[in-house]
Amino acid sequence: MYKVFVNDKPLFLTNKISKETDFQLFLLESIDIKQLIVKIFQNKIQKAYLYHPDEKEIMKTLKTKIPVNKAGGGLVYNKNGEVLFIFRNGKWDLPKGGTEKGEDIEGTAMREVEEETGVNLLRITSKLQKTYHVFKRNGVFKLKITHWFEMQSDFEGIPQGQLEEGIEKVAWFSPDQIPEALKNSYENIKLLFEEEKGDHPHTI
């Protein structure tokens, strides 16, 4: 199953139909995806399931219905075990951004961390899950697929937020400060930390 966040509300892509009744179920094959997204943005739908019988075809089918934007991002730890956060659009987030031509996704993730925060001396320690969310650019809805990597950094300077990307603050948070930051963050960022704690199964 995939979780795609639309306006921070979950859209579940599944090949199983459960007996729950607190959500609306649509057939992925025939759904007008833009209409559904608009309804979610208008708060007319809080939670929806898109059904497709073949799990291997679910994401392929969605990608035929909405343009995809590929991004890379980092969950960065320093020597003290603190995690690097950015503050943008009134929420705490993690550094990430779109791929550039000819760049591999690991390179994208490291470049974006460095550009958005000034933090360098990075090395990737493991690959985390991908997250999915829908955003609107120039009147067009797009599906952003972000590939996340856990990183370590030996950087000891003062991080600097990239102003042209609207980043107001950059901060290192200790493990006991992170839950407070996540209260004012995005659902897909919370998923990464559930995975970090090991109590969240990897999404596909």
How many other CB atoms are found less than 10 A from the CB of residue 2?
18
Sketch the domain layout of the chain as residue ranges.
2-65, 68-197
Distant-in-sequence, close-in-space partners of 86: CB < 8 Å, separation ≥ 6: 92, 93, 94, 95, 116, 117, 161, 167, 169, 170
Ordered DSSP codes for 62-84: HHHHS-EEEEEEEEEE-TTS-EE
Is the predicted pLDDT of residue 198 greater than 70, yes or no? no
Q: What is the pTM of this model?
A: 0.92
9 — pLDDT class (breaks 50, 70, 90): very high
Q: How far is CA 71 from CA 17, 129, 154, 174, in A?
A: 31, 13, 24, 26
Interacting residues of 30 by C-beta distance below 8 A, sequence separation 6+: none
Other Cβ atoms closer than 10 A to 92: 20
Local structure of residue 19 (DSSP, 8 states): S
Tokens of 135: 């955003």
Give the mean pLDDT of the chain: 93
Task: Locate the DSSP E strands across 15-115.
Answer: 24-27, 48-51, 68-77, 83-88, 91-93, 96-98
Task: Give which of 72, 86, 98, 84 is closest to 161, Cα–Cα.
Answer: 86
DSSP 143-164: EEEEEEEEEEE---S-----GG
Q: What is the pLDDT of residues 115-158, one digit of tens each?
A: 999 999 999 999 999 999 999 999 999 999 999 999 999 999 99
Tokens of 1: 């199953």
Predicted local distance difference test score (pLDDT) of residue 70: 97
What confidence score (pLDDT) does residue 201 get?
42
> Would you identify the CATH topology of the domain 68-197?
Nucleoside Triphosphate Pyrophosphohydrolase (3.90.79)
Check whether 63 has a pLDDT greater than 70. Answer: yes
